[in-house]
């Protein structure tokens, strides 16, 4: 759906900052999250998890647990079928191990009991006979031919010699003559980088309440980014019809990609089916860390050639990602996005993905991109230092723009990269003085954005208010922005619109809240639904006025005769039309169903100043500014909120956060004390500059904004630290011990 | 273990409950009293989502036993608004977009209220250090700090 031709329209509601509809519930404690629901006769479900990184399950004896008073059901993999779809089977196997426990924390059995205390006691009575197997948790080790095999039979087709069977995917992108490109360079730098796996770190652990009836109907309440995908996965796993399983998304206490799949939901459904009672499962934080979606960890080689005046002549990257114990294609996004910010004649990226004995990777905000762009932007920064060039000038000189054939194939339409770079260059932050032990870094960031399957229903109430039913859990204020777009289009006040997120039986399929898609795609469908409702209102008014429907048009909330030839009539408001709709043909509604394309790619630039304490190795972020193209900011507060939140997650990734595995393959830091996400006192204000370069694929020009902001912080901070220390850093996180170690090796 | 009978005051209301001796105040509030505004983000006192006050002292209710509420005054997020009238902190959190997913919000509001009762005119740094025990993963804290400061300014003026 193209940008409206009157692209310079003056918006009345869009671009304002009204209060969010879920605000009062959330500040008074009334909002209902995953763990807040109860049901009559509800049991507590608890899960037994593997204490080993890799072990064959020789037998499981549940008899003592089943005999414990208060225990109503025990399930193991034997209680599940074998779905035909390999990816669904992977999800099921991740929820409940079949033959082998593949990582520390992998579920092996579950209990439903009348109390949490009894359920926990029952877990201790389950006897699992394990045969411990060799394990591997590092991506480079996992790719070696003699590595322990995590799962047999999952290797990529045509596996090259010298690689382990753990290698499951290989991708290549690029264009141009690499040798000729590098031959033109005055300076070539080739470096290797590593990034640790991080966790999405949502504050709300996964929770669900499942109720299966003996007639085959099921109800599932859970915190998820996508109730429809949950329904599809669970219906497949439970071998039931999708229509019989109603999934309701609770308010969601953060997701960031990590709540786009299922972990406990099929287990709760299986326990409920077996016990005949509703079953609630709430994960502990330990379980969240050990068994839900961290990111990939990565190992990347980057080689870039540059002329002495700063033109990139050739760029190459090889990326190796591990995504845990199941095949994971995230490296594709890394290989596609690595050089997306640049207009290059010769570029090639190669991605490899390997299995390890770690939890199955789940999406985390721009999955795959931050670690790839970290490596690329680090090398670009080092080239700028070596050639004594301004890092913003070099980005501007090489920046992708409209018409650029991207490194991953498509040719870009209108994009905002140069505008964000110009804004950064003009900003006082870029010229501010720096003190001793301080450094300034910057990085570009990119995300593809996504549209996807979307349904919106709009109903006009008799009192002239409007209800919108959509199907995407609101993770960043989307109910407000959708109501704003509806109000804008209909020409009524924001307060007259209420948007709700419906369950799976109340509206058609909606893809998961991911890919920065909701404000774009649900917004687009909302505008189309409003235009359909407007068309119907005009038809009704034409009947009343006894003129052609074509002779009625809609403006600022009123149906009006289109000109003197149409006749002279007093305009009719939406409220007036709705009030008499029962007499003019019945309730008035609009709806729209679409698989939206045209999402419009997103670029941002981050500027950061840090100070590194050479005594302790601690890094303090002194100043941070985010520049990003939002296309059109519907609710600027929530656009800023995405930019700030993403930046801070990236700061955590750069400086502190990491999955630490011991020699035994067990996760060493599965708590929020030892896995330290940024706290308020770690941070400065996060300043934001929103650019608006309209996306040609949306009527108001909207681009998704949620994911790009986590991409630049990794390199921006690494570049700032490297400049502060006068020592290039090659590994994340740059926690104090790692900085001290690097300093000690400095000659 | 036998349950223990506890008499307490929650948000000004006399309240009685029974609980296990090893049951946390958070579990009592959520599972026995239906006060689900306090959230369990970690159960180990690291995230602050379960923040309440006991006799005016800010605590992680996951680290307090239910039986410790005996004869105490407990304040939770459910008691912050005065009927329909939101507390200035609540209003400024909405007006300033200081929440996204909102799951940390009850704990942060309870903690911020405790701060302003102690220090009605904090610096940004004081707010940041006071709230360092309350994790938020959505906002990057920027708008939270600003909302606390604008609420503090209004409360000082009132």
* Closest residue on chain A to B76 (Cα): A29
3-state secondary structure A53-118: CCEEEEEEECHHHHHCCCEEEEECHHHCCCCCCHHHHHHHHHHCCCCEECCCCCEEEEEEECCHHH
Confidence band, pLDDT 50/70/90 cuts, at residue A429: very high
Q: Which pLDDT tens digit goes with each residue over A677-710? A: 999 999 999 999 999 999 999 999 999 999 999 9
Q: Which pLDDT tens digit goes with each residue over A63-83? A: 999 999 999 999 999 999 999
Decide if A205 and B41 are in contact by the 8 Å CB cutoff: yes
Residues of A in contact with B37 (CB under 8 A): 28-30
Decide if B128 and A203 are in contact by the 8 Å CB cutoff: no
Confidence band, pLDDT 50/70/90 cuts, at residue B158: low
Q: Which pLDDT tens digit goes with each residue over A216-244? A: 999 999 999 999 999 999 999 999 999 99
User: Hey, where are the domains in chain A?
Assistant: 23-31+451-596
* Interface TM-score (ipTM) > 0.95: yes
* Cis peptide preceding A335, ω within 30 of 0: no
Mean pLDDT rounded to a whole number for chain A:
97
Candidate CATH numbers 3.30.365.10, 3.90.420.10, 2.60.120.200, 3.55.50.30; the one for domain A23-31+451-596 = 3.30.365.10
At residue A503, the pLDDT reads 98
| Percent over 90 (pLDDT), chain A | 98
β-pair partners for A498: A467
> CA-to-CA distance for A378 and A478, rounded, in angstroms?
34
Shortest alpha-carbon distance between residue A606 and chain B (Å): 15
At residue A254, the pLDDT reads 98
Q: Which pLDDT tens digit goes with each residue over A191-215? A: 999 999 999 999 999 999 999 999 9
Which string of b and e fits A439-463 if b means at least 16 CB within 10 Å?
bbbbbbbbbbbbbbbbbbbbbbbee
Decide if A29 and B36 are in contact by the 8 Å CB cutoff: yes
| Best to test chain B binding among A675, A680, A710 (most B CBs inside 10 Å) | A680
Nearest-10 Cα torsion for A34, A596, A372, A337: -170
Q: Which pLDDT tens digit goes with each residue over B17-44? A: 999 999 999 999 999 999 999 999 999 9
- Of chain B residues 84-103, which have a CB less than 8 A from chain A? 86, 90, 93-97, 99-103
At residue B89, the pLDDT reads 98
Mean pLDDT rounded to a whole number for chain B:
97
B35 CB near a chain A CB, below 8 Å?
A: yes
A686 CB near a chain B CB, below 8 Å?
A: yes
Instruction: Find out whether A624 and A607 touch, Cβ atoms under 8 Å.
Output: yes
* Closest residue on chain A to B34 (Cα): A36
Would you state the structure tokens that stand for residue A661, as one six-digit string? 């595995």
Shortest alpha-carbon distance between residue B57 and chain A (Å): 20
Residue A723 has pLDDT above 80, yes or no: yes
Q: All domains of chain B, ordered by start, with CATH?
A: 4-79 (3.10.20.30), 88-157 (1.10.150.120)
Decide if B77 and A641 are in contact by the 8 Å CB cutoff: no
Decide if A648 and B140 are in contact by the 8 Å CB cutoff: yes
Q: Which of A202, A203, A686 sits opposite B142 (nearest CB)?
A: A686
A9 CB near a chain B CB, below 8 Å?
A: no
> CA-to-CA distance for A526 and A534, rounded, in angstroms?
12
| Percent over 70 (pLDDT), chain A | 99
B115 CB near a chain A CB, below 8 Å?
A: no
Residues of A in contact with B100 (CB under 8 A): 254, 475-477, 638, 641, 645
Mean pLDDT to the nearest integer, A263-271: 98
Name the DSSP letter for residue A703.
-
* Closest residue on chain A to B143 (Cα): A641
A33 CB near a chain B CB, below 8 Å?
A: yes
Decide if B80 and A28 are in contact by the 8 Å CB cutoff: yes
3-state secondary structure (DSSP) of residue A515: coil
> CA-to-CA distance for A436 and A325, rounded, in angstroms?
45
Confidence band, pLDDT 50/70/90 cuts, at residue A179: very high
* Closest residue on chain A to B29 (Cα): A36
> CA-to-CA distance for A421 and A574, rounded, in angstroms?
44
At residue A6, the pLDDT reads 63
Shortest alpha-carbon distance between residue A652 and chain B (Å): 10
Residues of B in contact with A21 (CB under 8 A): none
Query: Which of A85, A71, A429 minimizes the C-alpha distance to A277?
Result: A71
Q: Which pLDDT tens digit goes with each residue over A580-634? A: 999 999 999 999 999 999 999 999 999 999 999 999 999 999 999 999 999 999 9
Q: Which of A19, A27, A644 sits opposite B109 (nearest CB)?
A: A27
A119 CB near a chain B CB, below 8 Å?
A: no
At residue A5, the pLDDT reads 78
Residues of B in contact with A253 (CB under 8 A): 39, 41, 101-104
A134 CB near a chain B CB, below 8 Å?
A: no
Q: Which pLDDT tens digit goes with each residue over A1-29? A: 788 876 568 999 999 999 999 999 999 99
Residues of B in contact with A713 (CB under 8 A): none
Shortest alpha-carbon distance between residue A681 and chain B (Å): 5
> CA-to-CA distance for A230 and A255, rounded, in angstroms?
14
Residues of A in contact with B108 (CB under 8 A): none
Mean pLDDT to the nearest integer, A24-37: 98
Residues of A in contact with B124 (CB under 8 A): 685
Q: Which pLDDT tens digit goes with each residue over A54-65? A: 999 999 999 999
Decide if B141 and A29 are in contact by the 8 Å CB cutoff: no
Residues counted in chain A = 747
A653 CB near a chain B CB, below 8 Å?
A: no
Shortest alpha-carbon distance between residue A622 and chain B (Å): 13
B144 CB near a chain A CB, below 8 Å?
A: yes
Mean pLDDT to the nearest integer, A83-109: 97
| Close Cβ partners of A726 (under 8 Å, ≥ 6 residues apart) | none
Residue A155 has pLDDT above 70, yes or no: yes
| Best to test chain B binding among A18, A26, A473, A640 (most B CBs inside 10 Å) | A26
Residues of A in contact with B144 (CB under 8 A): 680
At residue A7, the pLDDT reads 56
Instruction: Find out whether A288 and A356 touch, Cβ atoms under 8 Å.
Output: no
Residue A531 has a CB neighbour count (10 Å cut-off) of: 17
Q: Which pLDDT tens digit goes with each residue over A336-359? A: 999 999 999 999 999 999 999 999
> CA-to-CA distance for A322 and A665, rounded, in angstroms?
15
Confidence band, pLDDT 50/70/90 cuts, at residue A543: very high
Mean pLDDT to the nearest integer, A393-397: 98
Decide if A640 and B97 are in contact by the 8 Å CB cutoff: yes
Shortest alpha-carbon distance between residue B34 and chain A (Å): 9
């Amino acid at each position: 759906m193209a940008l409206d031709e009157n692209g310079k329209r003056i918006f009345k509601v869009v671009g304002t900052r009204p209060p969010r509809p879920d605000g009062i519930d959330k500040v008074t404690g009334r909002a209902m999250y995953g763990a807040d629901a109860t049901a009559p006769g509800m049991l507590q479900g608890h899960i037994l998890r593997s204490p080993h990184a890799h072990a064959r399950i020789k037998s499981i004896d549940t008899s003592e647990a089943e005999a414990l008073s208060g225990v109503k059901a025990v399930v193991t993999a034997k209680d599940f079928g074998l779905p035909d779809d390999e990816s669904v089977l992977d999800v099921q196997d991740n929820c409940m191990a079949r033959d082998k426990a593949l990582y520390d924390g992998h579920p092996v059995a579950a209990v439903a009991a009348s109390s949490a205390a009894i359920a926990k006691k029952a877990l201790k009575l389950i006897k699992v006979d394990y045969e411990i197997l060799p394990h591997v948790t590092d991506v480079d080790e996992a790719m070696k031919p003699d590595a322990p095999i995590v799962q047999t039979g999952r290797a990529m087709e045509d596996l090259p010699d010298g690689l382990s069977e753990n290698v499951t995917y290989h991708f290549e992108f690029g264009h141009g003559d690499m040798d000729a490109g590098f031959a033109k360079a005055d300076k070539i730098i080739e470096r290797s980088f590593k990034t640790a796996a991080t966790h999405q770190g949502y504050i709300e652990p996964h929770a669900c309440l499942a109720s299966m009836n003996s007639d085959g109907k099921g109800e599932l309440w859970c915190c998820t980014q996508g109730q429809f995908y949950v329904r599809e996965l669970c219906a497949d796993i439970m071998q039931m019809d999708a229509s019989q399983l109603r999934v309701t998304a609770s308010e969601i206490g953060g997701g960031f990609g990590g709540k786009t799949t299922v972990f406990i939901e099929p287990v709760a459904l299986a326990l409920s089916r077996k016990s005949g009672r509703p079953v609630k499962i709430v994960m502990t934080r330990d379980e969240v860390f050990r068994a839900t979606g961290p990111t990939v960890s990565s190992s990347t080689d980057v080689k870039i050639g540059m002329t002495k005046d700063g033109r990139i002549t050739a760029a190459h990257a090889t990326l190796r990602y591990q995504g845990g114990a199941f095949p994971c294609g995230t490296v594709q996004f890394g290989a596609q996005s690595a050089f997306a910010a640049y207009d290059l004649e010769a570029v090639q990226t190669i991605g490899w993905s390997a299995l390890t004995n770690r939890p199955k990777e789940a999406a985390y905000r721009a999955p795959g991109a931050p670690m790839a762009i970290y490596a690329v932007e680090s090398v670009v920064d080092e080239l700028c230092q070596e050639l004594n060039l301004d890092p913003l000038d070099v980005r501007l000189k090489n920046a992708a723009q409209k018409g650029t054939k991207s490194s991953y194939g498509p040719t870009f339409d209108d994009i905002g990269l140069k505008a964000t770079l110009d804004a950064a260059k003009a900003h006082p932050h870029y010229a501010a003085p720096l003190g001793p032990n301080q450094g300034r870094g910057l990085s570009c960031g990119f995300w593809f954005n996504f549209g996807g399957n979307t349904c919106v229903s709009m109903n006009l109430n008799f009192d002239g208010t409007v209800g919108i039913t959509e199907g995407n859990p609101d993770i960043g204020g989307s109910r407000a922005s959708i109501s704003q777009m509806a109000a804008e289009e209909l020409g009524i006040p924001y307060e007259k619109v209420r948007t709700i997120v419906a369950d799976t039986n109340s509206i058609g399929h909606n893809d998961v809240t991911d890919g920065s898609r909701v404000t774009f795609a649900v917004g687009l469908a909302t505008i189309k639904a409003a235009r359909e409702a407007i068309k119907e209102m005009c038809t009704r008014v034409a009947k009343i006025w006894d003129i052609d429907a074509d002779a009625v048009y809609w403006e600022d909330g009123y149906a009006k005769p289109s000109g003197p030839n149409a006749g002279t009539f007093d305009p009719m408001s939406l409220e007036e039309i709705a009030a008499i709709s029962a007499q003019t043909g019945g309730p008035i509604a609009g709806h729209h169903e679409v698989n939206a394309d045209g999402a419009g790619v997103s670029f941002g630039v981050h500027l950061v100043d840090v100070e590194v304490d050479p005594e302790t190795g601690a890094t303090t972020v002194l100043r941070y500014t985010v520049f990003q193209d939002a296309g059109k900011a519907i609710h600027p507060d929530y656009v800023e909120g995405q930019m700030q939140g993403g930046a801070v997650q990236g700061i955590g990734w750069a400086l502190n956060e990491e999955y630490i595995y011991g020699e035994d393959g067990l996760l060493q830091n599965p708590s929020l004390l030892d896995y330290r996400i940024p706290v308020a006192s770690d941070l400065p204000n996060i300043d934001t500059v929103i650019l608006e370069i309209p996306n040609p694929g949306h009527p108001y020009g909207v681009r998704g904004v949620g994911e790009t902001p986590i991409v630049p912080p990794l390199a921006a901070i690494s570049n700032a630290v490297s400049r502060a220390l006068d020592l290039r850093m090659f590994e994340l996180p740059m926690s104090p011990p790692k900085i001290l170690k690097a300093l000690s090796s400095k000659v | 273990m036998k349950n223990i009978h506890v008499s307490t005051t929650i948000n000004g209301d006399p309240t009685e409950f029974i609980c296990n001796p090893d049951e946390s105040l958070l579990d009592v509030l959520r599972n026995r009293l239906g006060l689900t505004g306090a959230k369990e983000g970690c159960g180990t006192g690291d995230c602050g989502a379960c923040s309440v006050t006991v006799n005016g002292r800010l605590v992680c209710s996951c680290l307090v036993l239910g039986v410790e509420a005996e004869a105490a005054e407990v304040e939770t997020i459910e008691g912050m608004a005065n009927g329909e009238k939101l507390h200035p902190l609540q209003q400024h959190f909405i007006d300033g977009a200081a929440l996204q997913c909102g799951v940390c919000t009850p704990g942060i509001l309870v903690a911020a209220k405790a701060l302003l009762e102690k220090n009605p005119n904090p610096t940004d740094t004081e707010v940041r250090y006071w709230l360092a025990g309350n994790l938020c993963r959505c906002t990057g804290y920027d708008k939270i700090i600003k909302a606390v400061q604008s609420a503090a300014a209004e409360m000082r003026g009132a």
